[in-house]
Amino acid sequence: MDYNWDWLILFKQSVTGEGLYGVMLLKGLGWTLVISLASWIVALALGIALGVGRTLPNRWVRWPVTVYVHVFRNTPLLVQLFLWYFVVPELLPPAWGDAIKQMDSTLEQLLAVLLCLTLYTAAKAAEQVRTGIESVAAGQRQAGTALGLSTLGLYKHVLLPQALRIVIPPLTSDFMNVFKNSAVALTIGLMELTGMSREISEFSAHPFEAFTAATLAYMLITLAVVWLMRTIEVRTRVPGLLGA
């Protein structure tokens, strides 16, 4: 193969004057981490609330949540991002829409990406939490009710402490997916890790070094997530359960 590998490319100045290619890549990594972690934290909280909502006896709560989860899980992430970025500002009252369009462009992109990733991930997490709550034995719910617990008490003291621990393994893959999904940000011009590696590949004519560096970074992130969730899982293990 007549491709000239040159790993030192990451320590060379960018032709765009943005500094070293390696530093650009680190900036991209920074964006990926910020976007993903911020979205994940909010999505997890929202997902737990929605997951509980889907199992409540009150159908005026259950129905809207079910519709939300279905819609956000069954449209492509990219379409959702385009809706938040291109469509929503047009449909808002004109004064608001204009305010959004006059924002700093990076801030505007960041808002759309955060909103999009958070709501998409929350829908996924809600589904896991619902499954977790439903997998807690039905007898426990009845026992809690028989003890005179209110619905709030039942969830707080009986269902959630168990369900949240059961869903840690499936939530691990959702957590990993946030980092991978954050790559869609490049389509609206926010230069996170994948977008940055693409840009470096164009400017430096060394695509494979840039892609290799990005790939390694994603693999490290995955390892870190798996390790973190594994630690939490071991610490919070439910005594007496096989899967735990």
- Return the residue of 109, 128, 194, 204 that touches other proteins, per CB under 8 A: 194
Q: Considering the complex, what minimum distance in angstroms separates the CB of residue 215 from other proteins?
A: 5
HSE of 129, CA atoms in CB hemisphere, 13 A = 28
- Return the residue of 9, 52, 126, 183 that touches other proteins, per CB under 8 A: 183
d(CA 59, CA 53): 9
Encoded one letter per residue, x for contact with other proteins by CB under 8 A and - for no contact, window 83-122 reads x--xx--xx-xx----------------------------
By C-alpha distance, which of 206, 34, 42, 16 is closest to 119? 42
CB 101, CB 108: distance < 8 Å: yes
Q: Considering the complex, what minimum distance in angstroms separates the CB of residue 144 from other proteins?
A: 28
Decide if residue 66 touches other proteins (CB under 8 A).
no
Query: Bridge-partner residues for 20, per DSSP?
Result: 13
d(CA 178, CA 167): 17
Give me the residue label for tokens 């940000």.
185
d(CA 120, CA 187): 17
Query: Bridge-partner residues for 13, per DSSP?
Result: 20
- Return the residue of 109, 128, 181, 204 that touches other proteins, per CB under 8 A: 181
Residue nearer to other proteins on the CB measure, 108 or 159? 108
Decide if residue 197 touches other proteins (CB under 8 A).
yes
Angle at 26 between CA 21 and CA 30, to 5 degrees: 145
Could you give phi then psi for residue 191, rounded to 5 degrees?
-85, 80
Decide if residue 214 touches other proteins (CB under 8 A).
yes
Decide if residue 191 touches other proteins (CB under 8 A).
no
Decide if residue 68 touches other proteins (CB under 8 A).
no
Decide if residue 29 touches other proteins (CB under 8 A).
no
d(CA 192, CA 196): 6
- Return the residue of 76, 153, 161, 189 that touches other proteins, per CB under 8 A: 76
Binding stretches for other proteins (CB under 8 A): 1-3, 70-71, 73-80, 82-83, 86-87, 90-91, 93-94, 176, 179-184, 186-187, 194, 197-198, 201, 207-208, 211, 214-215, 218-219, 221-222
